[in-house]
């Protein structure tokens, strides 16, 4: 009896030690993740001269001028506004179009639905890069380059596959009975979509909306190619101006970085769980 | 009900907007890109069909392309292997602890949602020779002076140059959360009955991991690996922002930056398209290979 309790306590002790190691490792890693981000914020409040001498200390007097400089002279104010316009319009249309297509694929009965779904899913595997040049040529001749609408259209298209995939899953999960009773009450198929489908797939809209917002907010390559006018640039494009080893003011660059990442950090803190759900739902497709 | 759901007009109404957009913005441009890649097409010049000239030039004469291919393939292999190991390791650790699991998970995933353009600037600064890492190493006394430390982003020696290795580690830092999250989702879906039954049969924790967890998450390994592969082949933001343009010459190109430079700096649109097509083909081939060899069978 006593021998048995002894082995158990030894085993317990061992698990405790192992858990201690695991937590130490996880905390160390968390520091590696958070330290650079915290450091950006601290540095963005410093002066370049101070930064060169003591890069790791807290600033004696926070310099909020860096922010106002980046916001006005660095054109980040306009860029933030542009990003917001682009992302919101993209969000709205990709959700409407995506939900409509997903409803037809998941709920309506027709022979080609599987094929059409596959067609949309191919979009997930195609990198933007290979359609970039033909699109650019096409949009230039349509006078769509250097306009926000010119990047909104491709953004909507590239947000569609994941939206359709996730929304189709949500529509499939709605019990048949609900649609049947709506049908008996004399609903048309369009009213079924708006009054039964959409309200019951609210979570799906959350998830896809967040995914498309975060993705488009960070998109650089397409925006950089399509937009060269200062007044139309989105945030990531404006940031590239700060690139260069001999750029004169690092602290302003850091203020710009903070401005660029703050919105996504806020969105992430509020909706972390939905984003995670969307990511996994999108990838489990196999 | 059935009649209602077979309404052809409604189906077309629902599908049409997405379908038309998809065809106009994705399908037709891809066909065009393939066509352009066989042409000598420069901005403001007429298109001239030249057959496989672009590809011949790409693979035989273009030194930048060789560097780009080498770097991109390095990125891909590196990220597939390291993200698999690190992602799975973190997922295994996090599923084994109770307190703080969500907190750690959210911290590790955070960089994935941040703009890699912004993070690229941050890391570029940290690896600047006179500042950042080197200054820290100097203050610990590891190196005598910060200028003597490694030239992280400017060293062009070796088969795989140092900047590329540095960037691949930054990419690992940024994106490992995604792999971790995918594995965690799959692991938490495994029924605890299986583990209990194994424990009764005298199975240790590490045995359980290799004999139960690993085979059961195999489909997800394939998915995560192909996502990694495609993502690292498409790599653009970090490289573009961490290595100043033209600073290291041709050596620091990846496929995406090479394509960007050729098409939009030198206006060789046809040539750029050829690089784009190579990229697309590589993405498809790698995805097929991974799915063929990793996702052998599904147990569920």
Query: Domain limits of chain A?
Result: 2-43, 75-248+257-283
| Dist CA B83 CA B220 (whole Å) | 13
What sections of chain B are H helices per DSSP?
2-5, 8-22, 28-36, 53-60, 63-96, 101-113, 116-126, 132-139, 162-188, 192-200, 205-208, 214-216, 218-234, 237-242, 255-260, 269-293
> Taking CB atoms and an 8 Å limit, are B125 and A25 in contact across chains?
no
pLDDT for the residue numbered B299: 47
Q: Which of chain A's residues have a Cβ under 8 Å away from the Cβ of B18?
A: 97-98, 100-101, 120, 160, 164
Residue B219 to residue A267, Cβ atoms within 8 A: no
Is residue B255 within 8 A of residue B233, CB to CB? The reply is: yes
Per-residue pLDDT band at A8 (split at 50, 70, 90)? low
CATH number of the domain residue B261 falls in: 1.10.3720.10
Average pLDDT, chain B: 86
Alpha carbons B228 and B235: distance in angstroms, whole number: 10
pLDDT computed for residue B280 by the predictor: 92
Q: How far is B83 from chain A (nearest CA, A)?
A: 15
Report the pLDDT averaged over residues A267-273.
Answer: 83
Residue A209 reports pLDDT greater than 80 = yes
Cβ separation of A236 and B117 shorter than 8 Å?
yes
pLDDT, position A249: 73
Q: Determine if residue B249 is left, alpha or beta; phi over 0 gives left, psi from -120 to 50 gives alpha, anything else beta.
A: left
A162 within 8 A of A81, measured Cβ to Cβ: no
Q: Do B283 and A189 touch (CB under 8 A)?
A: no
CB contact under 8 A, A33 and B107: yes
The reply to whether ipTM tops 0.95 is: no
A268 to B110: CB separation less than 8 angstroms, yes or no: yes
Question: In the prediction, which pLDDT does A28 show?
Answer: 93
Please indicate if any CB of chain A lies within 8 Å of the CB of B235: no
The total of structural domains in chain B comes to 1
**Does B15 score more than 80 pLDDT?**
yes
Rounded distance, CA B14 to CA B27, Å?
Answer: 20
Residue B272, pLDDT > 80, answer yes
Residues of B in contact with A189 (CB under 8 A): 4-5, 7, 10
Q: Would you state the structure tokens that stand for residue B53, as one six-digit string?
A: 């000239």
In a domain, B42, yes or no: no
How many CB pairs below 8 A link A and B? 262
Please enumerate in sequence order all residues whose Cβ is within 8 A of that of B210, keeping only pairs 6 or more positions apart, or say none. none
The model's confidence at residue A94, banded by pLDDT at 50, 70 and 90, is: very high
Residue A189: how many other CB atoms lie within 10 Å: 24
In the predicted model, what is the mean pLDDT of residues A7-33?
84
Nearest CB partner across the interface for B135, out of A34, A55, A264: A55
Residues for chain A: how many in total? 286
Q: Taking phi first (over 0 means left), then psi (-120 to 50 degrees means alpha), and beta for anything else, what does residue B244 get?
A: beta
Of A22, A134, A253, the CB nearest to B93: A22
Of A28-32, B35-39, B120-124, the one with minimum mean pLDDT is B120-124
Class of domain A75-248+257-283: mainly alpha
- Is B197 domain-assigned? yes
- As a whole number of angstroms, the distance between CA A160 and CA A99 comes to 9
Quickly list DSSP for B89-155: HHHHHHHH--TTHHHHHHHHHHHHHS-HHHHHHHHHHHT-TTSHHHHHHHHTTSSSSGGGS--TTT-
pLDDT of residue B162: 87
Residue B37 within a domain: no
Query: Which 185-224 residues of chain B touch chain A by CB within 8 A?
Result: 185-186, 219-220, 222-224
- Classify residue B24: in a domain, yes or no: no
Predicted local confidence at residue A30, as pLDDT: 93
Under an 8 A CB cutoff, do A284 and B223 touch?
A: yes
Give the structural domain span for B249.
Answer: 64-293
Contact between B296 and B240 under an 8 Å Cβ cutoff? The reply is no
Q: In this structure, is residue B86 part of a structural domain?
A: yes
Instruction: Give which of B12, B22, B289 to mutate to test A binding, by max A Cβ within 10 Å.
Output: B22
Chain segment A152-208, per-residue pLDDT in tens: 999 999 999 989 988 888 888 888 888 888 888 888 888 889 888 888 888 888 888
Using a CB-CB cut-off of 8 Å, the residues of chain A touching B36 are 133-134
Give which of B283, B281, B287 is closest to B33, Cα–Cα: B281
d(CA B167, CA B254): 11
pLDDT digits (tens, 9 = 90+) for A106-161: 888 888 888 998 898 888 888 888 899 999 999 999 998 899 999 999 999 999 99
Question: What is the model's pTM?
Answer: 0.87
Question: What is the H or E stretch that residue B48 is in?
Answer: strand B48-49
Which of A124, A153, A150, A128 minimizes the C-alpha distance to A139? A150
């Amino acid at each position: 009896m006593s021998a048995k309790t002894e082995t158990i306590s030894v085993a317990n002790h061992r698990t405790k030690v192992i858990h201690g190691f695991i937590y130490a490792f996880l905390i160390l890693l968390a520091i590696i993740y958070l330290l650079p981000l915290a450091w950006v914020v601290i540095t963005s409040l410093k002066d370049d001269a101070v930064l060169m001498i003591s890069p790791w200390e807290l600033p004696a007097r926070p310099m909020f001028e860096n922010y106002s400089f980046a916001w006005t002279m660095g054109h980040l104010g306009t860029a933030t506004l542009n990003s917001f316009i682009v992302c919101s319009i993209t969000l709205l249309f990709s959700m409407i179009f995506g939900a409509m297509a997903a409803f037809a694929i998941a709920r309506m009965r027709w022979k080609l639905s599987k094929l059409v779904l596959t067609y949309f899913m191919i979009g997930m595997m195609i990198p933007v890069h290979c359609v970039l040049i033909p699109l650019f040529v096409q949009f230039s001749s349509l006078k769509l380059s250097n306009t926000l609408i010119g990047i909104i259209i491709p953004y909507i298209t590239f947000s569609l596959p994941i939206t359709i995939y996730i929304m189709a899953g949500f529509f499939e999960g709605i019990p048949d009975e609900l649609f049947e009773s709506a049908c008996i009450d004399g609903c048309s198929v369009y009213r079924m979509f708006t009054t039964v489908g959409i309200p019951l797939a609210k979570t799906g809209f959350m998830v896809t909306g967040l995914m498309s917002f975060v993705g488009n907010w960070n998109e650089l390559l397409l925006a950089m190619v399509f937009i060269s006018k200062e007044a139309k640039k989105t945030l990531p494009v404006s940031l590239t101006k700060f690139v260069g080893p001999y750029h004169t003011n690092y602290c302003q660059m850091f203020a710009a970085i903070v401005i660029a990442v703050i919105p996504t950090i806020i969105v992430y803190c509020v909706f972390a769980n939905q984003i995670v759900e969307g990511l996994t739902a999108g990838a489990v497709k196999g | 009900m059935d009649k209602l759901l077979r309404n052809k007009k409604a189906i077309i109404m629902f599908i049409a907007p997405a379908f038309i957009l998809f065809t106009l913005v994705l399908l037709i441009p891809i066909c065009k890109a393939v066509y352009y890649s066989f042409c000598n097409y420069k901005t403001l010049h007429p298109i001239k069909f030249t057959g496989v000239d672009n590809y011949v030039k790409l693979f035989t004469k273009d030194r930048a392309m060789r560097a780009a291919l080498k770097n991109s393939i390095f990125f891909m292999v590196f990220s597939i292997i390291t993200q698999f190991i690190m992602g799975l390791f973190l997922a295994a650790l996090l599923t084994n602890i109770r307190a703080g699991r969500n907190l750690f998970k959210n911290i590790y995933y955070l960089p994935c949602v941040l703009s890699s353009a912004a993070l690229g600037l941050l890391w570029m600064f940290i690896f600047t020779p006179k500042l950042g890492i080197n200054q820290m190493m100097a203050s610990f006394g590891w190196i005598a002076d910060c200028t003597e430390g490694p030239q992280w982003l400017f060293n062009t020696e070796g088969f795989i140059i140092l900047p590329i290795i540095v960037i691949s580690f930054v990419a690992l830092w940024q994106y490992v959360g995604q792999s971790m999250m995918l594995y965690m989702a799959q692991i938490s879906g495994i029924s605890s009955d299986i583990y209990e039954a194994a424990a009764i049969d005298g199975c240790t924790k590490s045995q359980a991991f290799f004999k139960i967890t690993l085979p059961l998450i195999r489909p997800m390994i394939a998915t995560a690996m192909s996502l990694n592969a495609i993502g690292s082949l498409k790599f653009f933001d970090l490289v573009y922002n961490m290595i100043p343009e033209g600073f290291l010459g041709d050596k620091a190109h990846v496929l995406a930056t090479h394509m960007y430079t050729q098409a939009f700096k030198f206006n060789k649109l046809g040539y750029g398209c050829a690089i784009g097509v190579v990229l697309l083909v590589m993405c498809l081939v790698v995805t097929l290979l991974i799915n063929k060899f990793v996702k052998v069978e599904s147990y569920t």
